[in-house]
């Protein structure tokens, strides 16, 4: 089968590698769609720790075409999304933290920028009829956002702010609205992403290149004291600081975007301490993946996918994502 191998930096090769065989307890999936994640972009920029060579890609959906021993053949033909990574469900972290932080996790046979992959049967989550298989590839980023939002304690009639309207910001906005935020501001400099936030529930759109965020805070929040809930969905420490500084006393800031490893927090810790701000880190998809396909089917996801690329064109897709040329770019390995 064909797969794209990452060799460091922006260097990829399109390779012929052995098609994986489903081991006992595993299923073989013909990949329909794999999303370009901000993490994939950051890996190529040296901002996220990964060691080459390897096959990247962790947001995927497809169809089960074969099963290993111990898996019912009734699974063949099921449309699924993939709950990445593989978890043991038995270690301390699986039982007390979340299954995505498994201490014994092993990766799939290969990453998902490939034509096929083999994963444990329980990691292949069947999707509802109301959800098309391409859109189901958005399950992983949506799960990260739902897991994060559910860490918050959202007060009645809360005001909220999301900085960044890439796919992570959009899903964060949608789940903040569905979990009780009454008035939501989404701040995003890229017009196509900013406008997209409307269909995800944003009440007010903010262009940071147009007016200061402080003007919005003064107009929208109680006495200009700040938002009850803020969320950073870009992965830039200075924007995490902006969220903290935009949060009212005893409010909450959620980190959805992944900042580079070793990043300092450029904020006045005395002020944050004085105002009793709660800072919440949300990393990976928690334990909610099995619920997310049904949640996706409820959302208006029209035109969220801005571009579809062949497997051979993966480097171009990563560049388009890095340059913010749309909302979400995906790879179609078998087209």
13 is catalytic: no
236: left (phi over 0), alpha (psi -120 to 50) or beta: beta
Distances in whole angstroms, Cα of residue 16 to Cα of each of 4, 21, 28, 29? 9, 15, 18, 17
- Among 5, 33, 34, 42, the one annotated catalytic: 42
- Any bridge partners for residue 329, and if so which? 307
- Among 39, 63, 183, 319, the one annotated catalytic: 39
39 is catalytic: yes
Q: Decide: 273 and 162 in contact? Cβ < 8 Å.
A: no
Sign of the dihedral defined by the CA atoms of residues 137, 140, 143, 149, in that order:
negative
The span from the CA of 113 to the CA of 331, in Å, is 7
Q: Decide: 307 and 176 in contact? Cβ < 8 Å.
A: no
Say which residues have a Cβ less than 8 Å from residue 132's Cβ, sequence separation at least 6: none
Enumerate the active-site residues.
39, 42
């Amino acid at each position: 089968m064909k797969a794209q191998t990452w060799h460091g930096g922006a260097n990829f090769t399109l390779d012929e590698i052995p098609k994986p065989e489903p081991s006992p307890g595993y299923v073989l999936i013909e990949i329909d769609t794999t999303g370009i994640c901000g993490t994939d972009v950051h890996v190529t920029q040296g901002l996220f720790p990964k060691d080459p060579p390897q096959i990247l890609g962790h947001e995927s959906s497809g169809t089960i075409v074969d099963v290993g021993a111990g898996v019912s053949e009734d699974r063949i033909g099921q449309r699924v999304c993939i709950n990445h990574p593989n978890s043991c469900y038995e270690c301390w972290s699986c039982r007390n933290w979340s299954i995505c932080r498994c201490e014994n996790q092993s990766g799939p046979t290969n990453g998902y920028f490939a034509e096929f992959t083999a994963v444990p049967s329980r990691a292949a989550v069947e999707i509802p009829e109301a959800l098309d298989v391409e859109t189901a590839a958005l399950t992983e980023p949506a799960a990260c956002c739902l897991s994060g939002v559910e860490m918050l304690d959202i007060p009645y009639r809360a005001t909220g702010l999301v900085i960044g309207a890439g796919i992570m910001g959009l899903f964060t906005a949608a789940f903040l609205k569905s979990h009780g935020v009454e008035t939501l501001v989404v701040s995003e400099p890229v017009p196509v992403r900013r406008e997209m936030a409307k269909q995800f529930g944003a009440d007010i759109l903010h262009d940071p290149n147009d007016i200061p965020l402080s003007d919005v805070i003064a107009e929208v929040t109680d006495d200009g004291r700040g938002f009850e809930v803020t969320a950073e969905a870009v992965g830039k420490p200075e924007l995490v600081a902006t969220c903290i500084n935009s949060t009212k006393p005893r409010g909450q800031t959620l980190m959805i975007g992944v900042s580079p490893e070793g990043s300092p927090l450029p904020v006045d810790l005395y002020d944050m301490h004085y105002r009793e701000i709660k800072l919440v880190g949300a990393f990976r998809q928690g334990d909610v993946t099995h619920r997310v396909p049904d949640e996706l089917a409820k959302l208006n996801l029209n035109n969220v996918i801005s571009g579809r690329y062949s497997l051979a064109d993966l480097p171009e897709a990563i560049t388009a994502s890095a340059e913010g040329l749309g909302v979400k770019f995906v790879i179609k390995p078998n087209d």
